[in-house]
Amino acid sequence: MSRTSAPLDWELVIGLEVHCQLRTRSKIFCGCSCAFGAAPNANTCPVCLGLPGALPVLNAHAVTLATRASLALGCTVHDTSVFARKNYFYPDLPKGYQISQFDRPLATNGAVVVGINPDGGPRVIRVHRVHMEEDAGKSVHDRFADASAIDLNRAGTPLVEIVSEPDIRSAADAVSYARRLKQILEYAEVSDANMEEGSLRVDVNISVRRFGDDTLGTKTEIKNLNSFSAIERAVEIELTRQCEVLESGGRIEQQT
């Protein structure tokens, strides 16, 4: 099997969820600094530590930057958007839930041009939604031989999550979309989009289906990729794995 090419009767389908840290001085719901590289847990307070009785206050500059990002992507920005609790347990999520947006996001229905089709028209990847949320902290696994550590400096950093439609059909187009998105966000001065520092992280949703089938296959999600080469390798490996499973009569389990 050649790189990123499935057997002739299988079609690759990809959607990307891109998490981008907004270029603010302080966090989304408190006044703690967002500066990268501070001593572990130095930039924390009762709000971003999730202590009982602490009340979040929305950062107006974060809303401005998120709106600018939405407009740069050609989205419709809604007059009303609503924050919600996304409940899950993870050690670096001190409240036990993430403040995000669900059924009423900030913006919807944008588009990113990633190239030219053989017929000369633009190759467009649609943007399903842009919503605001807070970042989680960071688990550190290389400081101690027999334990993991938690650094909550990043907890509460303002994010936009940019969710594409499942319009991507190759690893090359996935990388082109991510590169173009990074350029747009940098040009609009929404984010520094520094992938090495985690300012831009990509979740890749991958499925395959028979050519001519309109129904999406069962997807798997590969989370928190922070380089373009990692996106390409993830697509190649997962495409090969899914095709081999289906060709052997198995079925794909939805998993992360």
| Type and span of the H or E element at 185 | helix 171-187
Distances (CA, A) of 1 to 86, 147, 236, 237, 240: 40, 41, 10, 11, 8
Residues 6, 12: Cα–Cα separation, whole Å:
7
pLDDT category, 5, cuts 50, 70, 90?
Answer: low
Q: Confidence class of residue 151 from pLDDT cuts 50, 70 and 90?
A: very high
Ordered by start, the domain boundaries in the chain are 10-247
pLDDT digits (tens, 9 = 90+) for 54-99: 999 999 999 999 999 999 999 999 999 999 999 988 888 889 999 9
At residue 26, φ and ψ (nearest 5 deg) are: -120, 170
